[in-house]
Amino acid sequence: MKKTVHQFLLFLLLVITGVVNAQNFTSDSRQEEKICTLIGKMTLQEKVSLLHANSKFYVSGIGRLGIPEWALSDGPHGVRAEINRHDWGYAGWTNDSATCFPPGTALAATWNPQLAYAQGLVLGEEARCRKKDVLLGPGINIIRSPLCGRNFEYMSEDPFLISKMAVAYIKALQSKDVAVSVKHWLANNQEEHRDSIDVYMSERALREIYLPGFKASVMEGGAYTVMAAYNRFRGGWCSENDYLDRQILRKEFGFKGVLMTDWSAAHSTETAALAGLDLEMGTDIKDYNEWYFADPLIRAVEKGRVPVAVVDEKVANVLRVMFKTKMLGGQAREKGKMNTPEHQQAAYNSAAEAAVLLQNNGNLLPLHFDKIRSIAVIGDNATRKHCSGGLSSEIKALYEITPLQALQQKFGAAVKINYVQGYEKQSIFKEGNNSGQSGADKVDWKLIDEAVAAARASDVAVIFGGLNHDFDTESADKKSMDLPYGQEILIQEVARANPRTVVVIIAGSPVKLSGIVYRVPSILWSWYGGMEAGNAVADLLSGKVDPSGKLPFTLPVALSQSPAHALGNFPGRDLKVNYEEDILVGYRWFDTRKIQPQFPFGYGLSYTRFSVSGVSTDRSGYGKNDTIRVRFTIKNTGSVYGAEVVQLYASEPGSSVLRPEKELKAFEKVFLKPGETRTIEMRVKVSDLAFYDESGKAWNTEAGEYILRLGNSSRDIFQEVKISVGSH
């Protein structure tokens, strides 16, 4: 009898807190009843056992109640190989090689949410095949500085682009009965001091820049879990931050899933419990019972410092995710599959669509391999494999095709390939600091001389340079934006020896190109390309595939142009960082302050040409609840099949507050055959033109004039249209 009353009260609590009938995380009342019944049968010890790990990546189940153990795995661009249960060593399994996708910045550079969806499906299937229940991704922190070590894992400097890609990824992955974990909540925008830095930003920057990706992930994507970041936010740890976790995530976004810590990001029992944290992972204490959400939580409940209802709420969140992913409830669950040809094709598609053609003077690219007799392939990145780097996102790829392998395999029979190393990787990665990047400025003249000789003896030279995961890595930021190991000199010397020199940049974050853009005709940015990297880049170089990627971040001429660095607030002082650039992150800064970057946000060339015409809106005046329809006609006026990404930027010139010169509000990747024409309609809600009004603590769509600009980068605008918004 007592139990039934308790269950009824718990059910009531779930109804009152909006869990039942929640919109973004639909849960039917029968399921909530089942959750209440299960909780009603649990002892306090059993409840708490669901709220902390029992090993590196697992959480205990409750056998007698049929609740299985919970299995988590990194993410975000592949399913990580199996780690030992109680230490960070690899378990040495022979069946955990996986499909490895290009990481976050590359995915975002495709500007194609369908590819994010395709990736989500593959990750879901492979996670299930490995019997995983949660995949720790996507990583969606804003790229605030070119130096952040984890930029490669993240997606963009723009919250709209992030949102579109993340929602697609999440929906697909979760459709395979695996939960995502959107990370890192919030403002983990640097690796330096990541576990102690205290981040300050205005409420407006929070709302306009740093929250939207998470909001979309939860409210549109329906993310089942979120990972709290290591850092502090406005004084409080993210894992126990009442404002972030309770007020925003739970109340405003209506999040009904599990908020877990990053690995070893818990700092308290009571504060965290009350703030809304559900699950403690990775704490660096050997005895799991001593973790904050283990025996100390039991004691806190027994002493009345944490109400049992708070523990029940957490358990309900865990069970809800288990029902959603069909761990509970008896429905047939996705069985999964690994390394199918379709999975490998999906990885190839992302790599092929991600590459950004930055420069192509005299149309040196594509290379006509039928006419070339010899090619000098130069650079450490021609032969280096990258899937296994970067720390927590490292993947034991089933295979990884390097650029040299692919070129040899595809063209080696007809074309003489003269490979030379060009530069040598000097650095050795050391976890926890960036001292591993030392040696980055060493110039090896012997290797340069060899490269020059090879270039001179060949029809064309292709230099595969850029970075590696000593630079693009978790746990350390880059020290500079420079190309390491004397590559700038190498490129200059090779280009002098052979003007038909192409540079392929393999990197996941901005690097300085000012020393090479005037020296070489063609630059292709091909990112870390995952397991199919080489095949994709060879097909791009040969023109089998048209480059259609666009930069997901601004490429500055020099670090000092970048907002956080121009204002001297990266990585902060005395373990505090104040985001003084405020809402002017990335191109919002460059375009508003009229600073000319090396290459702008959204930029990328193609082997074909497009013309956009007839840009118009369905009306000239709109009400605040209306939707604007923007139409345009696009034609492929060149001679090969290709894709253009048409981007819509909005601005409000007469605003009562400073607003960015441009803000991305819509985009569409359009694939066209030569000569083909299509008319496209984009939709923008008038309410999405709002800014966050600090004084009214609300979104404000001011009445007045707005400009909508259509372009293929934030700086290359085809046409603009003015519209007006009325006061209602």
Catalytic residue positions, numbered? 262
Question: CA 664, 669, 672 angle in degrees (round to 5)?
Answer: 145
DSSP state of 603: -
* Beta carbon nearer to ligand BGC, 230 or 610: 230
Q: Which SS3 state, helix, strand or coil, does residue 493 take?
A: helix
Q: Largest alpha-carbon pair distance within the chain?
A: 89
Binding-site member from 32, 46, 74, 477 for ligand BGC (CB under 6 A): 74
- The yes or no reply on residue 482 touching ligand BGC (CB under 6 A) is no
Distance of closest approach, residue 59 Cβ to ligand BGC, in angstroms: 13
Minimum distance between the CB of residue 646 and ligand BGC, rounded to whole angstroms?
Answer: 34
**Could you tell me the smallest distance in angstroms from the CB atom of residue 98 to ligand BGC?**
15
Residue 185's DSSP bridge partners are 228
CA distance 403 to 169: 27
CB of 193 to ligand BGC, least distance (A): 14
Q: Which of 183, 314, 324, 384 binds ligand BGC (CB under 6 A)?
A: 183
Task: Determine, following the binding rule CB under 6 A, whether residue 392 of this chain makes contact with ligand BGC.
Answer: yes
Residues 6+ apart with CB under 8 A from 324: 25, 27, 174, 179, 224, 257
Q: Residue 1: CB partners within 8 Å, gap ≥ 6?
A: none
Could you give the strand order of the β-sheet that contains 232-233, starting from the edge strand earlier in sequence?
Answer: 236-237, 232-233, 198-200, 576-578
DSSP-derived pairing of the beta strands 70-74 and 134-136? parallel
Shortest gap between Cβ of 334 and ligand BGC (angstroms)? Answer: 22
Residue 273: which residues within 8 A CB-CB, separation 6 or more? 293, 297, 300, 306, 310, 311, 314
Interhelix angle 29-40/308-324, nearest 10 degrees:
130
Residues 255-284 within binding reach of ligand BGC (CB under 6 A): 262-263
Cα-based angle 702, 707, 708 (whole degrees, multiple of 5): 115
What is the C-alpha separation between 22 and 29, in angstroms, rounded? 10
Complex with ligand BGC: residue 137 or 403, whichever CB lies closer: 137
For ligand BGC, the closer of residues 165 and 538 by Cβ is: 165
Residue 80 DSSP label: P
Q: State the Cα–Cα distance between residues 95 and 569, nearest whole angstrom.
A: 46
Burial of 658 (0-12, 13-18, 19+ CB in 10 A): exposed
Q: Does the bond joining 653 to the residue before it have cis omega, within 30 degrees of 0?
A: no
Least separation in angstroms between residue 220's CB and ligand BGC is: 22
Six-digit token string for 587: 């191109």
Q: Is 653 exposed, middle or buried (0-12, 13-18, 19+ CB in 10 A)?
A: exposed
H-run or E-run covering 229: none
Asked if 136 touches ligand BGC (CB under 6 A), the answer is: yes
Nearer to ligand BGC, 140 or 583 (CB): 140
Q: What is the Cα–Cα distance from 599 to 714, expressed in whole angstroms?
A: 10
Q: Which is nearer to ligand BGC, 263 or 423 (CB)?
A: 263
* Residues 429/436, Cβ–Cβ less than 8 Å: yes
Which residues are near ligand BGC by CB under 6 A? 74, 136, 183, 262-263, 392, 474
